[in-house]
Structure 1
Amino acid sequence: MKRRSVRIAVGDLAPPGVTRLAVRVVADPDLQAASRPVVLCCFPGGGMSTAYFEMDGYDMAAHLAGAGVIVVLVDHPGVGDSDVPDDPWTLRPELVADVEVLAVERVIAGLGLANPVVIGLGHSMGAMLVAYQQARHRPYQGLVLVGYSGRGLPEVLRREELAVAHDPAGARDAIVQLARSRFGRPLVSGGPAHSEMLVGPHASPGALGALGAAAGPLLALCGLTSMLPGSHADELASIDVPVLAGVGDHDIVGPPHEIPGHFPGSRDVTVFVLQDAYHNSNIAPNRHLLWDRIRDWTEMIRERCSVE
């Protein structure tokens, strides 16, 4: 297993202060497919860095790399070792998605692969950003969206936030004002990573410690956008590649059977429900079942692409 950290130049597109994003490549060169290797580009949820995918004892990246997948972990601007913009209030979902696609394109070009199958994976807010990436630039041949459904979190929203639900234009116009009111600052530290709603009542001390070590600031504008129902319905509707939605049976995504309805443009939406799991499914005792499902699904996409 090889792990390599790189910093990818994005200053020609990113807001002032951001010249590079931090990227980790996790791969086992001896196990990669001889033709059309799979590259899985992963983006963390709000309040997490990409360390969420490499937690000690809960290492999703190593698990998938051990199956021959090339795992690329990308930290959002302002998170982890990525540069922080001079004005983090510029980090709207559209801009973050554009910058991250540029990083993905450049890191894949640097891998020197012949005709790879590129798949986007995001957890929670990161899943929303992967959806934005696909809607705006179409870099992926499939999407893995974990802990995400598209419904938002209407049960925790304020009255003024609910007023722009299902109004994409209104949400875009109001998002800075609403985020200032809710969070007070554009990069929010000390989020609810350990809340029972996200980890369940029986998370072990080791799991909680791993999550704490993986914590990073929440991008306020992106986080709130992901919470607003219908705020990015147009982006979701434009997605026409296969989608794998992986959620816990105690997740915060609403009824799993409703998930395909958020992706009307895709003819292939698979929903996998991990039993006895909460929102941060990478610490679930049976997390390997989800990881194996992701592995099998990416292999299916690779085989499908190879015969097209």
Structure 2
Amino acid sequence: MSPVLIRIDVTDTLPPAVSAGQRLYVGAWLFVPTRLPDRPTVSVWLNGGTYDKRYFHAEVPEHPGYSMAEHLAASGHIVVLPDHLGIGDSSRAPRQMVVTRQVAAKANHDAMTQLFAQLREGTLHPSLPAIPQFIKLGGGHSMGGMQTITQQAAHSTYDRIAVLGYTAIGVHLTLGGQLHSADPGPLDFSMPDYPVMDRRHLRSTFHWDDVPEAVLTADDALLVPVPYVLSMQSITAGIVSEDAGNIDVPIYQCLGERDVSPDPWAESAHFRACRDYTLHVLPKSGHCQNFASTRSVMWNRICAWSESLDVPDRLA
């Protein structure tokens, strides 16, 4: 299944200090299902740090079955994979340092609002008819989980959200068999917008021990530059705790058996406005669940979880 690249102009929703006279776009891949339910789910997924949207559509030579997007589309989801502002096919701001998590969330909310309107009108893609009602599922992995929480708390973009491989407590990394806080402290604005990243030391956090070497090599090839501010905010301890407490839609949170939360069973306390919270600890998975041997368990659980929920009051 080949994705379709779409680009959505979000300039007018952003402060002039961000756009600085430049048109800014959110780029995204669209996956159109061959089977369209009467009331489909529009499934939007934001990638984590050091990745772009390919995290959710990984293509590994001689190792098929690593595309979460294809899996969900085969289940009837209309899948959208946006790049964060400043990453991949999305525009880089003239001064990327001013693109905080709130600014990036505002840009993505505007992009998805426009996309939802096009879907209702039947102008999103030639193979999609006008769809007046659909369920909006927003999710993200790692830094994308931070952005999903930030966006939903500020803008109520979605009817339900999925937080994968992220923690409201504070990101911890497995180094030498021990968990260590990744909190970087205050932002250093003397840093370049896009510092050079090296994630070789993160393999023990990112991957379970049974991930094939060919998959690890393919994963290494997905490394992209990440804006300094978003990257550092994503590992700042407790940065989304207040936002998490303001989210009142159903939440599915999936953490790998070895992941970034110091206490997965304490995560639910941060989502105190949510009356339908599900925790799933994925066996034999590191932080990057999409590369785990058990990845399809999570993908199928996401579909089953979403389908099990009552039809929300707020439909598109």
TM-score under structure 2 normalisation? Answer: 0.85
CA distance in 2, matches of 1:149, 1:278: 14
1:33 to 21, 32, 37: 37
1:10 correspondence with 2:10: yes
* Structure 2: runs of 5 or more not aligned: 121-130, 173-179
Which secondary structure state, in structure 1, belongs to the residue aligned with residue 42 of structure 2? strand
Q: What CA deviation, in whole Å up to 9, does each residue of 1:222-271 have, x standing for no partner? A: 22222222222221110011100011111111222111011111011101
Which secondary structure state, in structure 2, belongs to the residue aligned with residue 304 of structure 1? coil
- The amino acid that maps onto 1:32 is L
Displacement of 1:44 in angstroms is 0.4
- The amino acid that maps onto 1:134 is Q
Displacement of 1:217 in angstroms is 2.1
Q: What is aligned with 1:186?
A: 193
Q: What is aligned with 1:168?
A: none
- Tell me the percent identity: 28
Alignment root-mean-square deviation, CA: 2.1
8 Å contact kept, 2:45–2:139: yes
Q: What is aligned with 1:171?
A: none
2:145 to 127, 137, 142: 127
Displacement of 1:85 in angstroms is 0.8
- The amino acid that maps onto 2:158 is Y
Residue 197 and residue 180 in structure 1: after superposition, are their counterparts in 2 closer, same or farther (change >3 A)?
A: farther
Residue 188 and residue 108 in structure 1: after superposition, are their counterparts in 2 closer, same or farther (change >3 A)?
A: farther
8 Å contact kept, 1:131–1:236: yes
Q: What CA deviation, in whole Å up to 9, does each residue of 1:14-49 have, x standing for no partner? A: 422452111111121x41211x21001110001110
8 Å contact kept, 2:194–2:226: yes
1:269 correspondence with 2:277: yes
CA distance in 2, matches of 1:59, 1:146: 15
1:297 to 290, 301, 305: 305
8 Å contact kept, 2:97–2:189: no
Residue 143 and residue 72 in structure 1: after superposition, are their counterparts in 2 closer, same or farther (change >3 A)?
A: same
1:152 correspondence with 2:152: no
Residue 157 and residue 64 in structure 1: after superposition, are their counterparts in 2 closer, same or farther (change >3 A)?
A: closer
Residue 42 and residue 179 in structure 1: after superposition, are their counterparts in 2 closer, same or farther (change >3 A)?
A: farther
Q: What is aligned with 1:143?
A: 161
CA distance in 1, matches of 2:54, 2:241: 29
CA distance in 2, matches of 1:191, 1:120: 29
Displacement of 1:75 in angstroms is 0.2
Matches within 5 A, 1:8-157: 8-14=8-14, 15-16=18-19, 17=22, 19-28=24-33, 30-34=34-38, 36-56=39-59, 57=64, 58-112=66-120, 113-153=131-171, 155-157=180-182
Which secondary structure state, in structure 2, belongs to the residue aligned with residue 127 of structure 1? helix
Equivalenced residue count is 287
Displacement of 1:212 in angstroms is 2.7
- The amino acid that maps onto 2:82 is V
Which secondary structure state, in structure 2, belongs to the residue aligned with residue 208 of structure 1? helix
Which secondary structure state, in structure 1, belongs to the residue aligned with residue 161 of structure 2? strand
Matches within 5 A, 1:195-274: 195-274=203-282
CA distance in 2, matches of 1:76, 1:68: 25
TM-score under structure 1 normalisation? Answer: 0.87
Displacement of 1:6 in angstroms is 0.7
CA distance in 1, matches of 2:141, 2:52: 11
CA distance in 1, matches of 2:23, 2:207: 32
Q: What CA deviation, in whole Å up to 9, does each residue of 1:209-229 have, x standing for no partner? A: 332333222232222222222
Residue 307 and residue 226 in structure 1: after superposition, are their counterparts in 2 closer, same or farther (change >3 A)?
A: closer
